Every structure is written in C-alpha cells, then in structure tokens.
C-alpha cells in the first residue's frame, strides 16, 4: 500500500491511497510417516521416529509444526533436534508440539524422534497419531500418520537377596548349614572345658 502526501492541504484525502494485493506463490506439499522403534513395554521407554517429506514445488514455510496427542499411558521424556538440527518439542498435558524453525527444502526429508515413558497396562493396544502443517502446505490427507503397538508386561523384578547370576539358596540348605555350624561350636566348647588328668605318682 502507498500513500501520497504533499505540503499543501488536500481537499480530497480519499484518493491518496492505493494498494495491490499480492498472493504468495510459495506452495509446498508435506507428508508425514511415523514409526515405533522396537516395541512397547510397561515401565520401559519407547521411541517414535517422525519423517517429514516435502515434495514441493517450493520449500516449505517456516516454522513447520508437528502435533502429537499422546494416548493415555505414554508420557514425553525427551526429543532430538533431528537431521536439520532445528526441531524442538514440548508437552502440555498429553499433547506434544514439535516445531522445526527451518523450512523443509523441496525434495528432501526432515527426521527427528521423541522418547516416551510407557505406563499403560500390559495387553493394551495403543494407536498414536500425529499431524504436520506449515503455511502454504497442500495435500492435508497425507499429513496424518499413526503407529500401533501392543504393550508387553513389565520385566519381573529380580530377588534383591540373590547375587547377580546366582539363584538364592533354598531354605532347607540354609538350615542345614546353620545346624552344622551350631554343632561345631558346641563341640569346641565341650573340648575346652575337659579337665586335665594328672600323671600318677
């Protein structure tokens, strides 16, 4: 928009302004894939990998935003900066929002991952769906991605009384050892108090 001003009073101010709206020709087409690395297990952290692809024709606008509403039983632990080194994630409740401050160049991908703590019940099935978006993006149908996984039971807690790599002693064996030690101690006490016999004169 341009405005014309002059030193003399202008009797008609309404015609001193002109504008020419311009529409940006920056168009990108983002898509998202999401993969669960390994499996889900109660009390064990899991990792999800995200791959954002831009098929163009232009570089994407920045920032690029990925939203991941974590299902119950998953909690954000950490995230990586990704291949572009510009991803950062934060959680508000169960919703994780990740932002790439750099554009995704046309014909390339931007990859990063998040690590989550698993507290879901064993046997439950978890579907985790995320979306990605940026200004000027088209093809919204390909901006959703999900990863499914069943939750395995937590590993059993080892017996704190057993040495690493060794099974604990059975109760019967312990009682036999304790009884044997008692018999040895009693024998020593009896031997200590035996009177000495003098030699006959």
Q: Which of 34, 102, 40, 101 is nearest to 69 (CA)?
A: 34
pTM for the whole thing? 0.68
The yes-or-no verdict on residue 193 having pLDDT over 70 is no
pLDDT at position 18 is 66
- 30-138 topology per CATH: Immunoglobulin-like (2.60.40)
Spans of all domains in the chain: 30-138
pLDDT band at residue 4 using 50, 70 and 90 as cut-offs: low
Question: What tokens does 114 get?
Answer: 């998040």
């Amino acid at each position: 928009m341009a405005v014309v001003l002059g030193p003399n009073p202008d009797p008609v101010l309404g015609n001193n302004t002109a504008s020419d709206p311009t529409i940006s020709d920056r168009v990108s087409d983002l898509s998202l894939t999401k993969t669960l690395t390994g499996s889900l297990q109660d009390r064990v952290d899991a990792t999800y990998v995200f791959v954002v692809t831009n098929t163009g024709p232009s570089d994407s606008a920045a920032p690029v935003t990925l939203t991941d509403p974590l299902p119950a039983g998953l909690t954000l632990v950490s995230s990586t900066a990704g291949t572009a080194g510009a991803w950062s994630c934060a959680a508000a409740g169960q919703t994780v929002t990740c932002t790439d401050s750099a554009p995704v160049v046309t014909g390339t991908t931007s990859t990063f991952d998040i690590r989550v703590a698993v507290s879901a019940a064993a046997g439950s099935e978890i579907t985790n769906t995320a979306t990605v978006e940026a200004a000027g993006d088209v093809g919204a149908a390909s901006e959703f991605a999900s990863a499914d996984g069943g939750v395995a039971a937590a590993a059993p807690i080892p017996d704190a009384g057993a040495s690493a790599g060794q099974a604990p002693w059975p109760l019967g064996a312990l009682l036999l050892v304790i009884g044997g030690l008692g018999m040895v101690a009693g024998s020593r006490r009896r031997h200590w108090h035996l009177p000495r016999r003098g030699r006959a004169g």
